[in-house]
Structure 1
Amino acid sequence: MSALFNFSSLLQVILLLICSSTYIHSQWPSLFDRYKDTGVLSTFWKLSRIGERASPYVSIACIIMAVNQFNS
């Protein structure tokens, strides 16, 4: 089943995108900053901002999803 149709898988994909974008932005800030207004990379810049500003909530969500994966 596609990750777009399964809600749990969709949440995992979104969390992975947020975490990956935040990590890439912390390592190479200029990569997303120069494209923050236009294009597809602006989505990744926005995801990295969510990861930076909502970091405790994102990390709690990642822990919950990891426990969910171990139980299933």
Structure 2
Amino acid sequence: MSALFNFQSLLSVILLLICTCAYLRSLFPSFIDRNKTGMLGIFWKLARIGERKSPWVSVACLLMACSILFWT
């Protein structure tokens, strides 16, 4: 089953993308910042969400980890 049809898997993929993009932007800011429009602009937007909403993203990651470990 793909992640598109399972809501929990879709949320974990989105959280992983947010965290990965924010981490890569901290390492290579010019790579992420030059692609603000188009298809690759999605990664720039995910990196911005990860930077600006980092406490909320970290809480969501912890909740997702607990749900995967204990309730699945």
TM bucket by the smaller chain? over 0.9
In 1, the alpha carbon distance for the partners of 2:21 and 2:62 equals: 18
The answer to whether residue 68 in structure 2 is matched with residue 61 in structure 1 is no
Number of aligned pairs? 71
In 2, the alpha carbon distance for the partners of 1:49 and 1:67 equals: 25
Q: Which residue is equivalent to 1:33?
A: 33
Unaligned runs of 5+ in 1: none
CA displacement 1:12-61 (0-9 Å, x = unmatched): 0000000000000010000011111x222210000000000000000000
In structure 2, the residue corresponding to 1:60 is in which secondary structure? helix
In 2, the alpha carbon distance for the partners of 1:11 and 1:35 equals: 24
What is the TM-score of this pair, normalised by structure 2? 0.94
Unaligned runs of 5+ in 2: none
In 2, the alpha carbon distance for the partners of 1:35 and 1:66 equals: 31
Q: Which residue identity lines up with residue 65 of structure 1 in the other structure? A: M
Displacement over 3 Å in runs of 4+: none
Cα RMSD (Å) of the superposition? 0.7
